[in-house]
Amino acid sequence: MKRLPIALGALAVVLILVGFFALSGSGGEPDDGCLELTLYSSDEKAPVLGEIARRYRESGRETDGRCVAVAVSVSSSQGTVDVLADAPGSDPDARPDIWSPSSRYWFDSLRREIAARPGRVRSVPENPVSLATSPIVIAMPEPMARELGWPEGAIGWETMLALAQSPDGWGSRGKPWGAFKTGKTNPVHSTTGLLATLATATALSRSSEALTVPALEEPAVAGGLRALENTAVHYGKQVAPFVRNLYTADQEGRALDYVSAVPLEEKVVLDYNQGILVGNPPVTGAPPKVKLAAVFPTDGTTVTDHPAMVVDAQWVTDDRKRAAEDFLKFAQEHRSLFTDAGFRDGEGAPGPRHVEGNGTVGSPAFRLVRTPAFEVVTGVRELWQRNRKRANVLLLVDVSRSMEKVVGAAGKSRLDLAKDAARLVPAQLTEDDTLALWEFSSPLGTETRPWRERVAAGPVGVVRDAFGRAVDGLQPTGATALYESTWAAADSVRERFDPTRINAVVLLSDGRNEPAQQEVLTALENAFRAVDKDRVVRVFSIAYGDEADREALDRISTAARGGYYDSTDAARIESVMADVLSNF
């Protein structure tokens, strides 16, 4: 196993400025007498809704003689369905007055949930208002898109499939860009991932009719989807990590190394090309050196319709309902703010930003794929589960002495809560995913290494029981050799690298490297960046507890082209672990 190189190379520092977006119309607590509403939104339009909320507050409009302040909060669509359907484990204190996901599919999903089992809401509108639209496009680094004929050429999912099935990848077109790699959010959790998978399946069926459940079993559909999924670098609940990784690679001069294609909303592509990275909150910086091109698949794509509804729940009293309805009316009166921000209107008409110089086409030609019957959507999600790219994951858990710290009213230690989250890992993977478990702290006794293998890598179905016993046996001890252990874990996965799997380390740590050794952190970053672009072991890090070195963990995950997750509230670790595992 290779040791972490200590020699320092040139360190490229990328300054990404965090832009402040006022997502609350109140700018803080409302004035005395004002009614405060909570609006749950998908992340890409939250800044626009925040601006509308600010204007609404300043307009002087009142409901029942009271001013109204609307606080906009970013919330995942599936998470909001769970909250409103009162699903097990959902937050009982979450009480949105208004909800606006990316697609009305989530309204249909909630309606199904409460029809089967009463939830916290009583009804869901059949025909909700739509605030804006944005097509799902295949976002590609512009040189790659132009190689395929963008913007005039006919490019579609079949084009992507041909590249995916070529052993030479981009070499089949005489380009030195390596393997054809894709990114896609997890369709179980993400609107973009779900709608892209629906469009792909529809295109592969080669039928002019709406997608059906029997069509999902056709070899061309299942086989084609499997081939495309095998090119995935990883999945995830949100598009933000993909966008951030693209930007980081661009700033490091590696714009064509991370992914060749990733489905995104057109609006997200337009923002990226201006240096605005979707997220909560959004991040702003200089425009990328290599822009993304929004490729409209000519063989079919879907369009997000950004519906909005007033939540029909007990906590939405009559006065709150009237205020929420008035706010949505105000939002519809200010739809131009959405088109100015890069969305399209309800008819798909472009706004001022929809030009080739910004990476898109004002009037694209493509087949519109409408969301099919609910049972077909369910079938598509199940088809993806069967054909998604499998994972090769090593869970690396910090067991340093600081993990003894008791958190919360239940009297559990940090390690106790981490073990609760770790026990859930096998259930969130498939039986044929590969799983290993390491712990780390500092060398014990006569040991020279700070890490210890607790479960050797093996199929989840084989190691499940051993994994559970090993998790139960984790005990806090020693200091925190974060950097050396992380490199060793990634190197271990690299030694058994499987190109047909997502190869990754999930790192959970509550502390900081002891001693600090900034030069070693820099060397670690450089080592991860120097890895062959087609043999990347991604690191998904979790900053656990309020003493975790968030900056170091973020830097490690950025260099290793993975993702950083914040669980500084240790009580949230199970939810955060589920977010991390959605990458597989």
Residue 4 lies in a domain: no
Residues 373 and 396 in one domain: no
pLDDT for the residue 324: 99
Q: Is residue 565 part of a domain?
A: yes
Q: Of 347, 373, 388, which marks where a domain is finished?
A: 388
- Same domain for 356 and 484: no
Co-location of 269 and 397 in the same domain? no
Shared domain for 321 and 433, answered yes or no, is no
Q: Report whether the peptide linkage leading into residue 372 is cis, meaning its omega lies within 30 degrees of zero.
A: no
Q: Is residue 361 a part of any domain in this protein? A: yes
Q: What is the pTM of this model?
A: 0.89
**pLDDT at site 19:** 34
Element (DSSP H or E) covering residue 135: strand 134-141
Please list, residue by residue across 464-501, b when 16 or more beta carbons sit within 10 angstroms of its beta carbon and e when fewer do.
Answer: beebbebbeebebebbbbbbbbbbbbbbbbbeeeeeeb
The answer to whether residues 40 and 156 belong to one domain is yes
Domain that holds residue 438: 390-581
CATH number at residue 91: 3.40.190.290
Residues 517 and 369 in one domain: no
Examine the domain organization and report whether 158 and 90 are in the same domain: yes
**Is 6 among the domain residues?**
no
In the chain, % of residues over pLDDT 70: 95
Do 450 and 330 lie in one domain? The reply is no
Question: Given 327, 359, 388, which residue is the final one in a domain?
Answer: 388
What would the two tokens of residue 218 be?
Answer: 């056709």
Rg of the chain, C-alpha, whole Å: 24
Of the residues 353, 388, 423, the one at which a domain ends: 388
SS3 559: helix
Q: For residue 518, give the 3-state DSSP assignment.
A: helix
Please tell me whether residues 315 and 432 are part of one structural domain.
Answer: no
74 in any annotated domain: yes
- Residue 486 sits in the same domain as residue 337: no
Q: How many domains does the chain have?
A: 2
Query: Has residue 105 been placed in a domain?
Result: yes
pLDDT of residue 280: 86
pLDDT at 30: 55
Three-state secondary structure of 331-381: HHHCCHHHHHCCCECCCCCCCCCCCHHHCCCCCCCCCECCCCCHHHHHHHH
Q: For residue 454, give the nearest of 433, 471, 441 by alpha carbon.
A: 471
Residues 412 and 527 in one domain: yes
* 57 within a domain of the structure (yes/no): yes
Asked whether residue 12 is assigned to any structural domain, the reply reads no
Predicted local distance difference test score (pLDDT) of residue 7: 36
Domain of 475: which CATH number?
Answer: 3.40.50.410
**Beta bridge mates, 563:** 540
Mean pLDDT of residues grouped by 10 in the chain (584 residues)? 43 31 45 88 97 97 96 93 93 96 96 94 96 98 99 97 97 96 95 97 94 96 97 95 96 95 98 96 95 98 98 98 98 98 95 96 94 94 96 98 89 95 96 98 95 99 98 97 98 97 98 92 97 95 96 97 95 94 97
Q: In this predicted model, what pLDDT tens digit does every residue of 444-478 receive, in sequence order?
A: 999 999 999 999 999 999 999 999 999 999 999 99
Residue 17's pLDDT is 30
Domain match, 525 and 433 both: yes
